[in-house]
Amino acid sequence: MNKPYIIGIAGGSGSGKTFFLKCFLEHFSADEVCLVSQDDYYFPVAHNMTAEENKLYNFDLPSTIDHEHFQQDISKLLNKETIFKPEYTFNNPAAIPKILEIKPAPILIVEGLFILHFKEISNLLNFKVFIDADEDVALQRRLKRDLIERGYSHDDVMYKWMNHVVPAYKEYLLPYKDECDRIITNNSHVAQDIIAVTQEISAELRKKLF
């Protein structure tokens, strides 16, 4: 193939998108697939903010993403160029980001909350996957992640959920659900359910591309 086949994977917070990606990538070698994540393109703001400002800052808006740089790097990968990008450290100014080296591959996965909203990026996608989950299921996953892994308080997580996460999902992702090629409902807590879906999709891709 002259150009990589681009798969867009979008899902709201707590949809299980990260686990889906992990399972999906296990079906391919590093030479067959590469991944570029919207999260690595946040404009850096952490060093300028107090803890209270951090709590109130809305990361769930398209304007927080350097989408032009995001699109440029996708274009480079399409043109068989390797890209180098500092890893996003989830607004932790004390963390030292690794430099990600992303090499082009026959399959390019683009993932993130706004990839369908950014039209220039959406128009590049050959296959769009929407990871869906009921709101109460997604909230429980978000709570588990932010309380345990990121050290936020319960009040902070709920504030962001009600004022940032849910409104952004409804405005910038949900309207594009019906234009996706595959909608995966992920309310299960059984890992095998998602593993089975990724096996099915990867088998279809292998038949089509290799």
Residue 13 has pLDDT above 80, yes or no: yes
* Residue 210: predicted pLDDT: 86
Q: What's the CA dihedral at 9, 72, 126, 33 to 10 degrees?
A: -70
| Mean pLDDT estimate for the chain | 92
* Residue 93: predicted pLDDT: 66
Q: What is the pLDDT of residues 44-103, one digit of tens each?
A: 876 677 777 877 889 999 999 999 999 999 999 999 999 999 888 766 667 788 899 999
Report pTM.
Answer: 0.91
**6 — pLDDT class (breaks 50, 70, 90):** very high
Q: Which of 111-120, 124-133, 173-182, 184-193 has the lowest mean pLDDT?
A: 184-193
Kindly state the average pLDDT of the residues 98-109: 95
* Residue 49: predicted pLDDT: 75
What domains does the chain contain, in order, with CATH numbers? 5-209 (3.40.50.300)
